[in-house]
Amino acid sequence: MSILNSSPDEPEADPSLESSNASLSNNLEQQPLQRPQVKVDAPLRMVETAFLASTASLIWFINFYFPLGPVLRIFFPVPIALVYLRWGKRAAWMSAVTSGLLLSVLMGPVRSMLFVMPFALMGVLLGATWHRRVPWIVSITLGTLLGTLGVFFRLWFLSMLSGEDLWVYVINQVTEIIEWIFLKLQILATPSVFAIQLGAMLLIAFNNLIYLFVVHLAAWLLLDRLGNPIPRPPRWVQVLMDYE
């Protein structure tokens, strides 16, 4: 009778499998289901990146049509550098591209390129150096090189669009300055073409050096109050600012 009642098609239950299933069900009962975590900072990153990119574009836009001297020019790269300090490299590059696209819509691609090179790229560079806490001498030197390249890029780009060599205009201005210096020093000599071109390049580099130093001062005073401090300036700068 036992042989007739048993079903040959039904497999015998594995006791180890039943015990593992029971333990798994117990664990599921003890541990409640957790909701998937949503990254709260993703919308904030997107909003701040767009806002600071539009801020950089607006500063360039206002300074182009309503120039206020060097006041607004100081803050050209600061918003993009602030994006790097707050959200990292990817957000800074997105901010630079976004500001370039926005200016291309508002002012045309030519003026947009004049902002992207060098100021948008300078914002990414300064943000990277400030994020890595490098000394001022390094960040100012790198920014000066990029700013000098930006001036030569602007001369080449505008010369190509206008059909005139704007470098000749720069050479003429530098020639007048060197001749005035020679006259004051009572040097009876005519500067060579090589000396004039070298003086022009040194003058452009010195101008960018002063500009980067002022940008660092403005960022040091501003970003500290926003909770994103940059590396400390040299000791003599701190003493001078404390004295003032």
* Residue 120 in tokens: 């948008």
**Dihedral over alpha carbons 30, 31, 32, 33 (to 10 degrees):** -140
- DSSP labels, 113-144: HHHIIIIIHHHHHHHHHHHTT--HHHHHHHHH
How high is the pLDDT of residue 164?
87
Which residue type does 39 have?
K
- DSSP labels, the chain: -HHHHS-TTSPPPPHHHHHHHHHHHHHHHHSPPPPPPP-THHHHHHHHHHHHHHHHHHHHHHHHHS--THHHHTTSSHHHHHHHHHH-HHHHHHHHHHHHHHHHHHH-HHHHHHHIIIIIHHHHHHHHHHHTT--HHHHHHHHHHHHHHHHHHHHHHHHHHHSS-HHHHHHHHHHHHHHHHHHHTT------HHHHHHHHHHHHHHHHHHHHHHHHHHHHHHHTTTT-PPPPPPHHHHHHHHH-
CB 222 within 8 A of CB 125: no
The structural domains of the chain, ordered by start, are 41-161+201-243 (1.10.1760)
Q: Residue 76 and residue 228: Cα distance in Å, rounded?
A: 18
Q: Residue 82 and residue 223: Cα distance in Å, rounded?
A: 8
How high is the pLDDT of residue 134?
95
How high is the pLDDT of residue 12?
52
- One digit per residue, the tens of pLDDT, for the chain of length 244 reads 444 444 444 445 455 545 555 554 555 455 454 554 445 577 888 999 999 999 999 999 999 988 877 889 999 999 999 999 999 999 999 999 999 999 999 999 999 999 999 999 999 999 999 999 999 999 999 999 999 999 999 999 999 998 888 899 889 888 888 888 888 887 777 778 888 889 899 999 999 999 999 999 999 999 988 889 999 999 888 888 875 4
How high is the pLDDT of residue 4?
42
State the burial class of residue 203 (Cβ atoms within 10 Å of its Cβ: 0-12, 13-18, 19+).
middle
